[in-house]
């Protein structure tokens, strides 16, 4: 994907996504190193920086194997005097929490910004998580841009704060900022400033966190924290507007400021309230807030996520013995889950002025569309390699008559949770499929555990769990789905592809080599698009687990269809379209019920019908039909078959 807008000419306006604006800000500041692990809604930051790196020759950009390694890499670069950025989604910071806390103790030599893209509403995540709490816990300053337009400026300011205090800084965004596009005025990129060479100056008393050193650094950290708070009291990212003598105030935090401002303007009350914009959030700018609440009797805090600022404000007001009524999420004026919405903020603002509870003002509802949208449950793509594997897995289970427990993981294959496959009984976090299977496998007598994980997720956090299984003899089957890309987040490369973030070819790390190296005795690689081969491999592996009481691994390899088709077009390879032989079709429904391919629909007479627009030529329908009722319009070429079997990246 092209991100040409990230290299727009200075002093021009370009429409760009919030994530791209963050990348642009990092380039304008002059970073020399960027790393991350793909995860929605953060992925486009590293992708845009990778695009810039390929065009400009700098900065160095990489997709790391997981968030912890990404954090440590960028942190290490900053210790050599090179300004650095690391990017991840909110749950990724959990993976990187260990070095996060330590980095606050050591500080950094060059500026170091940690981008945490939170996901209120859980549009693509397993939980809601407000990572500003990490800032409080780890003594990491948090800057939260007030919308897409401020994302570039806030990024630059985050680097400046980090540089000023030699301290890591978190830039916290949310989905609505990351993935919204707006008209952005850009500054200048100094290409020469992006080309850094680092030098590490040894200072063990600062960088070696043994207890004796850490105790001294802890005291220094607390003093630095007070200095950062003092700086945040006068930083330009925080501002006020409206009626400065009003008894009513609104604290709009980050994107919450945009909602609050639109609410007071749309209701025609902008001149009746005092509006505080808070983008430099943690440490809490105590003096700035208190000076602007003088004479205020009631204040509404509008923030995305948890009531972090709201609770901090209540604590400070109590300490100062100021009796100001604080409204927000803890007392029902704003909802605690999901994203903010304009209608809800308008309701809270009217309640602020009236003193009445939310919902009592007879809101007209003009800010919310009251329409019923048909449900659109996500499905595996036509031609997805996972569909045939899941179909074969169900057949293998029926053949052996075993009672499976499916320990699932994060990826496109999470959709195996849905009918007709239902091969995800639990789904916790990245790598959790193997970790949870370790515990279950030792305790279940009449059930067999099948852990299912993808290729990128296996590299991310699956390997330690597999080592544990070998070491402790956990009897379960591990099914690794290798589609040659990090598909769910936008087809980023991973170690198995042999392609770096900057598009250069490195060494491909083969999953089966890792599996064998950690001591798994039974390892088999099967072709995801060959149903019989997958079924046979699974049956033998399940028997091995049952007979030997040890872990077994099946690697099902087949290209993501969304990478195979573009690659085929680039190479001039035509992929086949399949059709139904109606004389042979008996309307049994296996193809559109049990196999559930979106390209196959049902006619009124119950027979199958292929939509040629959706058909991607995977050919699995021809394998699973009991009556041989599917055939290709044109015989698939060897080149196309090679692409399906893993010849897109790393496979040739």
Radius of gyration of the chain (CA): 27
Predicted local distance difference test score (pLDDT) of residue 637: 93
- DSSP code for 574: P
Predicted local distance difference test score (pLDDT) of residue 320: 93
pLDDT band for position 384 (50/70/90)?
A: very high
Reading the block at residue 580, the tokens are 């139904």
Q: Cα–Cα distance between 172 and 180 in angstroms, integer?
A: 15
* Residue 241 clears pLDDT 90, i.e. is over it: yes
Mean pLDDT of the chain: 93
Q: Which tens digit of pLDDT belongs to each residue from 629-639?
A: 999 999 999 99
Predicted local distance difference test score (pLDDT) of residue 369: 59
Reading the block at residue 93, the tokens are 């910071």
Summarize the confidence of residues 325-349 as an average pLDDT. 91
Predicted local distance difference test score (pLDDT) of residue 127: 86
Any idea where the domains of the chain sit in the sequence? 4-232, 239-354, 385-565, 576-635
Lowest average pLDDT, out of 28-37, 436-445, 496-505, goes to 496-505
Asked if domains 4-232 and 385-565 share a fold, the reply is yes
Predicted local distance difference test score (pLDDT) of residue 447: 95
Q: Cα–Cα distance between 333 and 326 in angstroms, integer?
A: 10
391 Cβ contact partners less than 8 Å away, ≥ 6 residues apart: 421, 531, 594, 595, 620, 624
Nearest Cα to Cα of residue 559 among 458, 643, 457, 456: 643
pLDDT band for position 651 (50/70/90)?
A: very low
3-class state of residue 504 by DSSP = coil
* Residue 649 clears pLDDT 60, i.e. is over it: no
Reading the block at residue 90, the tokens are 């909110």
Q: Which tens digit of pLDDT belongs to each residue from 275-284?
A: 999 999 999 9
Summarize the confidence of residues 155-172 as an average pLDDT. 97
Q: Cα–Cα distance between 259 and 154 in angstroms, integer?
A: 18
Question: How much of the chain exceeds pLDDT 70, in percent?
Answer: 97
pLDDT band for position 502 (50/70/90)?
A: confident
Q: Which tens digit of pLDDT belongs to each residue from 582-597?
A: 999 999 999 999 999 9
* Residue 364 clears pLDDT 90, i.e. is over it: no
Q: Cα–Cα distance between 574 and 578 in angstroms, integer?
A: 13
Reading the block at residue 25, the tokens are 């800000």
Summarize the confidence of residues 107-123 as an average pLDDT. 93
pLDDT band for position 361 (50/70/90)?
A: low
Residues forming beta bridges with residue 171, ordered by sequence position? 115, 143
Tell me if 114 sits within 8 A of 67, measured CB to CB. no
Reading the block at residue 628, the tokens are 């041989």
Lowest average pLDDT, out of 200-214, 306-320, 359-373, goes to 359-373
* Residue 270 clears pLDDT 70, i.e. is over it: yes
Q: Cα–Cα distance between 65 and 69 in angstroms, integer?
A: 7
CATH topology of domain 576-635: Alpha-Beta Plaits (3.30.70)
CATH topology of domain 4-232: Rossmann fold (3.40.50)
Tell me if 276 sits within 8 A of 246, measured CB to CB. no
Q: Cα–Cα distance between 78 and 72 in angstroms, integer?
A: 10
* Residue 363 clears pLDDT 60, i.e. is over it: no
Tell me if 104 sits within 8 A of 224, measured CB to CB. no
Nearest Cα to Cα of residue 62 among 36, 41, 43, 28: 36
3-class state of residue 219 by DSSP = helix
Pick the CATH number of 385-565 from 1.20.120.420, 3.40.50.970, 3.30.300.30, 3.40.1410.10: 3.40.50.970
Q: Which tens digit of pLDDT belongs to each residue from 519-575?
A: 999 999 999 999 999 999 999 999 999 999 999 999 999 999 999 999 999 999 999
Residues counted in the chain: 652
Sign of the torsion angle spanned by Cα atoms 522, 523, 527, 529? positive
CA 228 to chain centre: 29
Pick the CATH number of 239-354 from 3.20.20.10, 3.40.50.300, 3.40.50.2000, 3.40.50.920: 3.40.50.920
Predicted local distance difference test score (pLDDT) of residue 366: 46
Summarize the confidence of residues 6-12 as an average pLDDT. 94
**Which carries the bigger pLDDT value, residue 352 or residue 228?**
228
Summarize the confidence of residues 626-649 as an average pLDDT. 89
* Residue 500 clears pLDDT 80, i.e. is over it: yes
* Residue 646 clears pLDDT 90, i.e. is over it: no
* Residue 370 clears pLDDT 80, i.e. is over it: no
pLDDT band for position 652 (50/70/90)?
A: very low
* Residue 315 clears pLDDT 80, i.e. is over it: yes
Whole-Å CA distances, 28 to 12, 60, 78, 189, 535: 14, 15, 17, 5, 54
pLDDT band for position 581 (50/70/90)?
A: very high
| Residue 387, burial from CB neighbour count under 10 angstroms (0-12, 13-18, 19+) | buried
Predicted local distance difference test score (pLDDT) of residue 360: 58
Summarize the confidence of residues 393-408 as an average pLDDT. 96
Q: Cα–Cα distance between 158 and 284 in angstroms, integer?
A: 15
* Residue 362 clears pLDDT 60, i.e. is over it: no
H/E stretch holding 289 reads helix 286-292
């Amino acid at each position: 994907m092209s991100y040409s807008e990230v290299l727009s000419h200075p002093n021009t306006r370009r429409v760009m996504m919030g994530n791209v604006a963050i990348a642009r800000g990092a380039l304008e500041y002059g970073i020399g190193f960027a790393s991350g692990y793909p995860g929605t809604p953060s992925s486009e930051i590293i992708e845009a920086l990778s695009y810039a790196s390929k065009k400009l020759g700098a900065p160095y950009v990489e997709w790391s194997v997981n968030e912890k390694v990404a954090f440590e890499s960028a942190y290490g670069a900053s210790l050599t005097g090179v300004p650095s950025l690391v990017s991840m989604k909110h749950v990724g910071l959990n993976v990187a929490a260990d070095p996060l806390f330590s980095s606050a103790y050591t500080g950094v030599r060059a500026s170091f910004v940690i981008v945490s893209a939170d996901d209120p509403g859980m549009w693509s995540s397993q939980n809601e998580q407000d990572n500003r709490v990490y800032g409080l816990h780890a003594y990491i300053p948090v800057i939260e841009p007030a919308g897409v337009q401020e994302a570039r400026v806030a990024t630059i300011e985050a680097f400046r704060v980090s540089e000023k205090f030699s301290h890591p800084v978190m830039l916290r965004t949310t989905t609505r900022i990351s993935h919204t596009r707006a008209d952005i005025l850009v500054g200048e990129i100094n290409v020469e400033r992006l080309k850094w060479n680092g030098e590490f100056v040894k200072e063990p008393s600062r960088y070696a966190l043994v207890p004796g050193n850490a105790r001294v650094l802890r005291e220094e950290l607390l003093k630095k924290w007070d200095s950062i708070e003092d700086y945040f009291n006068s930083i330009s990212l925080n501002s006020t507007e409206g009626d400065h003598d009003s008894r009513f105030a609104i604290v709009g935090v980050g994107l919450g400021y945009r909602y609050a401002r639109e609410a007071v303007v749309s209701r025609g009350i902008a001149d009746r309230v005092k509006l505080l914009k808070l983008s430099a959030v943690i440490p809490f700018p105590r003096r700035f807030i208190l000076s602007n609440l003088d004479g205020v009797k009631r204040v509404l805090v509008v923030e995305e996520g948890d009531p972090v600022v709201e609770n901090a404000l209540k604590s400070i007001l109590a300490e100062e013995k100021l009796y100001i009524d604080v409204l927000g999420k803890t007392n029902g004026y704003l909802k605690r889950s999901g994203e903010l919405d304009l209608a809800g903020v308008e309701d809270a603002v009217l309640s602020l002025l009236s003193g009445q509870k939310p919902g009592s003002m007879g809101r007209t509802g003009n800010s919310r569309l009251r329409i019923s949208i048909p449900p659109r449950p996500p499905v595996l793509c036509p031609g997805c390699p996972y569909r045939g594997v899941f179909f074969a897995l169900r057949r293998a289970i029926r053949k052996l008559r075993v009672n499976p427990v499916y320990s699932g993981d994060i990826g496109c294959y999470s959709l195996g949770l849905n009918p007709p496959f239902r091969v995800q009984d639990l789904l916790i976090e990245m790598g959790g499929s193997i970790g949870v299977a370790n515990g279950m496998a030792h305790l279940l007598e009449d059930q067999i555990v099948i852990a299912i994980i993808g290729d990128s997720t296996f590299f991310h956090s699956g390997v330690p769990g597999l080592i544990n299984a070998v070491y402790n003899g956990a009897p379960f089957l591990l099914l690794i789905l290798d589609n040659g890309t990090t598909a769910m987040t936008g087809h980023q490369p991973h170690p198995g592809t042999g392609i770096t973030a900057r598009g250069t070819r490195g060494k491909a790390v083969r999953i089966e080599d890792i599996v064998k190296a950690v001591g798994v005795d039974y390892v088999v690689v099967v072709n995801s698009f060959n149903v019989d081969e997958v079924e046979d491999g699974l049956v033998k592996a399940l028997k091995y687990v049952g007979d030997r009481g040890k872990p077994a691994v099946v690697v099902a390899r087949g290209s993501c269809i969304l990478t195979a088709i573009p690659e085929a077009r680039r190479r001039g390879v035509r992929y086949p379209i399949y059709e139904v032989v109606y004389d042979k079709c008996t309307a049994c429904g296996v193809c559109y019920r049990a196999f559930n391919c979106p390209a196959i629909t049902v006619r009124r007479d119950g027979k199958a019908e292929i939509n040629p627009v959706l058909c991607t030529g995977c050919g699995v329908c021809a394998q699973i039909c009991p009556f041989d009722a599917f055939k290709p319009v044109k015989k698939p070429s060897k080149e196309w078959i090679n692409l399906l079997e893993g010849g897109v990246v790393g496979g040739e």
